[in-house]
Amino acid sequence: MTSTSNTTASANTATQGRVALVTGGSGGIGRATVERLVADGYSVAVHYSGNRAAAEETVAAVTAAGGSAIVVGGDVADETAMATAFDQTEAAFGGIDVVVNTAGIMILGPIATLNLDDLDRMHRTNIRGTFVISQLAANRLRSGGALINFSTSVSRTKFPTYGAYVASKAAVESISLILARELRGKNITVNVVAPGPTATPLFLNGKDEQTIENLSKAVPLERLGQPEDIAETVAFLAGPARWVNGQVIYTNGGLA
């Protein structure tokens, strides 16, 4: 057996029996994360906000393949609904070891003309939602646990029209990195994944083929990321990466 195989086997052994809650787990990066964590031996709560059918389909696919998963729902910015989602996860699996917060919305437009209602809606989900999930995770994760929030590599690239979105994600980074320091002594890690251009509906929506081609060529690896690329980083932070804490991991193929 190669050293790579040994490493993989060790990681799977270490994560067997752990429990994860994945917000936005029914599509895109969230679904890829669910599938990866289940493959690593986790039981997973698949959270949805507006599309229960997609979450149920994800759970059905996981369980058909021999995994263990349930559906939980609610607005991530609603602390009562999210406390219930945590309750349901604990009731089903006995506790929570990992929270992966992929839930978020992206509304693009120049700062000079962006509708302020869109700004408020995006910031409610991305900032308040992250704060609610982070607060619950801080109080509910078991020792040895991990919280993984999501930002964006555009915080470095500074693409036009992303101003309001990047502002919300800068808040996510600040919340997460400060929480990592506040949880001293609890043996809980807090990190942020900042994907680059990734082929998800959230990213592709509203972009023409030329724009997508230009973005893919901007990456030294000359392709868009796939949800599975991001899930690989999440799986690392969720399980074996116990010495990575309070960091923003730019998973972007070398974009910036």
Helix (H) or strand (E) holding 72: strand 68-73
Phi then psi for 68, rounded to 5 degrees? -125, 120
The 8-class DSSP code of residue 35 comes to: H
What's the distance, CA 75 to chain centroid?
A: 15
Residue of 61, 65, 59 whose CA lies nearest to 89:
59
**Active-site positions?**
165
Strands (E), 183-247: 189-195
CB 80 within 8 A of CB 55: no
Name residue 159's amino acid.
F
Structure tokens at 126: 């991305």
Distance CA 34, CA 96 (A): 14
CB of 113 closer than 8 Å to CB of 75: no
Contact 249, 176 (CB under 8 A): no
Residue 61: CB atoms within 10 Å: 15
